[in-house]
DNA sequence: GACCTCCTGGATAGATCAATCTAGTATTGT
DNA sequence: ACAATACTAGATTGATCTATCCAGGAGGTC
């Protein structure tokens, strides 16, 4: 068990990655098992061997996989001790570049499926929820460390999440990165304000309060 | 033609409304024509009589219909001359109530389908884009009237859009209205700041500039 | 009443769907 | 070497999908 997997990806991995990509791009219902088999150069036999729960199990695993990958991406921008305003700026800029480079196809690995299955498949809904919460947890942690009080850190994390997800939706739909750039500027400013960065002087009252809590 | 339609809805209308609801809840690919026929108490014959383009034409029409309905909803909150901060607050509060009342099923009438078809069906993508832009146009207009310069009004409109759409996504996924409330507070504050509302004194520089442009 | 257009009803076709099944080939442990 | 297990292969099944088709009802016009 747990074989070494040196050179090429295992069949299982290929299936999960192909699923994640197809689900993200065309949605859950819009992706056929046949397409997954073809795209992963595997077979029905292999797919149902590794995922006896069928398409839905594959959906859950793909959401977890995409969620995990994206969480690492968030962590790569919001590193420990990094300036959260700079990180926010970079994160949105990076997102805009990726979205544009993939022809407005790849944005959030979860959102498309999450909306589709939110009241259709409870296991998948939960997997999506856990993915989202794991991203929020990273942001909350960094924002707390940067001086926000925990409740405020949660709020700002949620605001940032909403901004980027809404921007992804609008960007993919109108085929322009403008929304990501606008949301990025707004979020960087909001994070700066919440963390007590100068910019606008009297905005600091709330942030100063926060910094007293976490010295 | 254009018959009076006094008491009960026309078959065509019933089909469009059933489609819009089913697409919004379960997505485009996740909704079968059979389900639309059943839910609208019509038949295949009627459906393909009114929509010879089949499911895709129905998708376009449903997006337009949902977009129009929601645009009117936005206009009902952001009435001419209304306080944009109050309107923003009410809008998010209303959204939270609706989302909760429908058991986290009904939020945005466009988003689910928009993400699904963004790089699958060009006619549907365009219909979704037009719906979104029509909402943004309403917000832009009101924000301009409230004293923001046009470019800034567009930005704030986009920020608000992203916030509510992201909040809808997160709310439906984690089954909580918390994100809508957080996003609402943040947006009301941002709108207030952009419009030059006091709250934080020195935030006004940019807004004052804007008010000089539109006296 | 005959005709015409608009709409309804639903059976049916043909494609595609998820999933199963059996037979087979590696790989592993002893 | 042998047996057991892990994985692959893909034809097949029955359900479900979108779309077509045509017979007929409803209502208006001459």
- The bases of strand C with some atom under 7 A from any protein CB are 7-12, 16-23, 28
CA angle A184, A134, A177 (to 5 degrees): 25
Task: Compute the distance between CA of residue A170 and CA of residue A166 in angstroms, rounded to an integer.
Answer: 6
Q: In this complex, do A174 and B132 lie within 8 Å of one another by their Cβ atoms?
A: yes
| CB A45 within 7 Å, strand C | yes
ipTM: 0.90
CA B173 to chain centre: 18
With tokens 């999440």, the residue in question is A161
Task: Compute the distance between CA of residue B146 and CA of residue B198 in angstroms, rounded to an integer.
Answer: 14
Task: Compute the distance between CA of residue B75 and CA of residue B47 in angstroms, rounded to an integer.
Answer: 31
Q: In this complex, do B161 and A182 lie within 8 Å of one another by their Cβ atoms?
A: no
Are the beta carbons of B189 and B84 closer than 8 angstroms? no
Are the beta carbons of B118 and B169 closer than 8 angstroms? no
State residue B5's pLDDT score: 37
List b or e across B150-183, with b for residues whose CB sees 16 or more CB atoms inside 10 angstroms.
eebbbbbbbbbbbbbbbbbbbbbbbbbbebbbbb
Task: Compute the distance between CA of residue A203 and CA of residue B208 in angstroms, rounded to an integer.
Answer: 17
Query: Phi/psi at B90 (nearest 5 deg)?
Result: -60, -40
Contacts of A75 (CB under 8 A, 6+ apart): A138
- Is pLDDT above 90 for B2? no
Under the banding of pLDDT at 50, 70 and 90, the label for residue B162 is very high
Window A:42-101, CB contacts with B under 8 Å: none
pLDDT tens digit sequence for B106-141: 999 999 999 999 999 999 999 999 999 999 999 999
Residues of chain A with pLDDT under 70: 1-7, 198-215
| CB B34 within 7 Å, strand D | yes
> Which residue of A lies nearest to B115 if distances are taken between CA atoms?
A112
State residue A27's pLDDT score: 96
Q: Is B181 on the interface with A (CB under 8 A)?
A: no
pLDDT tens digit sequence for A57-88: 999 999 999 999 999 999 999 999 999 999 99
Task: Compute the distance between CA of residue A84 and CA of residue A143 in angstroms, rounded to an integer.
Answer: 7
Q: Which residues from chain A sit within 8 angstroms of residue B104, using beta carbons?
A: 118-119
Q: How many residues does chain A have?
A: 215
- Is pLDDT above 50 for B203? no
**What one-character DSSP code corresponds to residue B28?**
S
Residue nearest to nucleotide D19 (CA to C1'): B54
Q: Report which of A193, A179, A195, A178 is spatially closest to residue A140, judged by C-alpha positions.
A: A195
Most B CBs within 10 Å, among A173, A174, A190, A205, to test the B interface = A173
pLDDT tens digit sequence for A11-26: 999 999 999 999 999 9
- Is pLDDT above 60 for B199? no
State residue B205's pLDDT score: 43
Residue nearest to nucleotide C11 (CA to C1'): B44
| CB A209 within 7 Å, strand C | no
State residue A7's pLDDT score: 53
Residue nearest to nucleotide C23 (CA to C1'): A45
Contacts of A134 (CB under 8 A, 6+ apart): A67, A68, A71
For residue A126, the distance in angstroms to the closest alpha carbon of chain B comes to: 8
Helix, strand, or coil here: B196? Answer: coil
Task: Compute the distance between CA of residue B83 and CA of residue A49 in angstroms, rounded to an integer.
Answer: 60
Q: Of A27, A103, A163, which is closest to B29 when you measure between CB atoms?
A: A27
Strand D-contacting residues in A 24-63, CB cut-off 7 angstroms? 42-46, 48-50
Question: Using DSSP, how many helices (H) and how many strands (E) does chain A show?
Answer: 10, 0
Q: Mean pLDDT score of chain B, rounded to an integer?
A: 90
pLDDT tens digit sequence for B45-85: 999 999 999 999 999 999 999 999 999 999 999 999 999 99
State residue B7's pLDDT score: 54
**What one-character DSSP code corresponds to residue B200?**
S
Domains and CATH numbers, chain B: 62-213 (1.10.357.10)
**What one-character DSSP code corresponds to residue A7?**
S
For residue A90, the distance in angstroms to the closest alpha carbon of chain B comes to: 18
For residue A5, the distance in angstroms to the closest alpha carbon of chain B comes to: 34
State residue B209's pLDDT score: 44
State residue A5's pLDDT score: 37
State residue B54's pLDDT score: 96
Classify burial at A12, counting beta carbons within 10 Å of its beta carbon; exposed 0-12, middle 13-18, buried 19 or more: middle
Q: Report which of A88, A90, A165 is spatially closest to residue A131, judged by C-alpha positions.
A: A165
For residue A51, the distance in angstroms to the closest alpha carbon of chain B comes to: 22
Task: Compute the distance between CA of residue A84 and CA of residue A146 in angstroms, rounded to an integer.
Answer: 7
CA-to-C1' span, A1 to C29 (A):
13
- Is pLDDT above 80 for B93? yes
| CB B51 within 7 Å, strand C | no
Under the banding of pLDDT at 50, 70 and 90, the label for residue B196 is confident
Determine the longest span between alpha carbons in chain A, in angstroms: 64
CA-to-C1' span, A24 to C16 (A):
21
Task: Compute the distance between CA of residue B108 and CA of residue A55 in angstroms, rounded to an integer.
Answer: 27
Helix, strand, or coil here: B124? Answer: helix
């Amino acid at each position: 068990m747990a074989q070494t997997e040196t050179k090429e990806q295992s069949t299982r991995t290929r299936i999960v990655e192909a699923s994640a990509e197809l689900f993200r791009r065309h949605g859950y219902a819009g992706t056929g098992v046949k397409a997954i088999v073809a795209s992963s150069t595997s077979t029905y036999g292999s797919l149902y061997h590794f995922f006896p729960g069928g398409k839905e199990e594959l959906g859950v695993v793909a959401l977890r996989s995409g969620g995990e990958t994206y969480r690492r991406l968030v962590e790569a921008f919001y590193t420990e001790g990094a300036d959260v305003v700079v990180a926010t700026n970079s994160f949105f800029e990076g997102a805009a570049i990726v979205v544009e480079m993939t022809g407005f196809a790849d944005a959030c690995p979860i959102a498309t499926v999450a909306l589709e299955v939110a009241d259709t498949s409870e296991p998948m809904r939960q997997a999506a929820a856990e993915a989202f919460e794991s991203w929020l947890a990273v942001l909350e942690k960094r924002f707390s460390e940067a001086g926000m009080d925990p409740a405020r850190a949660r709020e700002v994390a949620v605001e940032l999440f909403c901004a980027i997800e809404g921007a992804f939706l609008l960007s993919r739909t109108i085929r322009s990165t403008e929304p990501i750039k606008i949301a990025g500027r707004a979020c960087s400013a909001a994070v700066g304000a919440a963390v007590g960065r100068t910019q606008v002087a009297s905005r600091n009252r709330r942030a100063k309060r926060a910094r007293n809590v976490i010295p």
